Amino acid sequence: MAPVATPFFFYLFAAIMLIGGIAVITRKNPVHSALALIVTLLAQASIYLMLYAPFVAGVQIILYAGGIMVLFLFVIMLVSIDRSIRERQFNSQWVVGVIAATALGGLFVAVYTKGRDIFPEHALPVVENDNTQKIATMLYGQYMFAFEIASLLLLVAIIGAVVMAKKRI
C-alpha cells in the first residue's frame, strides 16, 4: 500500500495551519477567531496522522473540539462582539513580540542547519498497527507516575474552580 504521508500533504496541512493561525489573530470577530483556531488544530491532527500517530490525532480532535466548544461559549456569553470589532487589535508591545518571534525563528534555523547531529540518522520504524496499544503500555507502564501527577494537577484545578465558583460549599 502506497504511503499517504507524501510531502504534498505535509505542505497542504502546514499551509492550512499557517493560514488558520494568522486568521486567529487578524480576525476582528472573536467567533471567527475561534473557528480559525479549530481549523488550525484539525490540520495539526492531520499532521499527527501523517506521522503515523493515529491515537494522538484522535485525542487531539476530541479534546480540542470540546475545548474550542467551551471557548466558543465563553465568547458568545462574555464578549460583546459589537465592541470587540471596534477595538484596536494590536497594542504597543510589538517590540517584545518581534524579539520573541526572531528568537524562535533563529532556533528553527539553527535546528534545521545542525539537525544532522540532533536527530537520528534514519526514520524510526513505523508502529502504525499497534500505535494505540504501544501508547497505552508506555503511559501505564514506564510513565505511570508522571501520568498520575498530571491527572492530580487537573483534579486540583477542578477543585479550585469549584471553590472559586461556589460561595458556600
Which residues between 96 and 155 bind other proteins (CB under 8 A)?
128-133, 136
**The one among 19, 23, 31, 51 contacting other proteins by CB under 8 A:** 31
Which single residue is written with the C-alpha cell 503500555?
137
Tell me the DSSP string of 42-84: HHHHHHHHHTT-HHHHHHHHHHHHHHHHHHHHHHHHH--HHHH
Q: Does 15 bind other proteins (CB under 8 A)?
A: no
Which residues between 44 and 103 bind other proteins (CB under 8 A)?
54-55, 57-59, 61-62, 65-66, 68-70, 72-73, 76-77
Q: Does 1 bind other proteins (CB under 8 A)?
A: yes
Cα 64-65-70 angle, rounded to 5 deg: 90
Considering beta carbons, is residue 82 or 121 the nearer one to other proteins? 82
Residues that bind other proteins (CB under 8 A): 1-2, 29, 31-32, 35, 38, 54-55, 57-59, 61-62, 65-66, 68-70, 72-73, 76-77, 128-133, 136
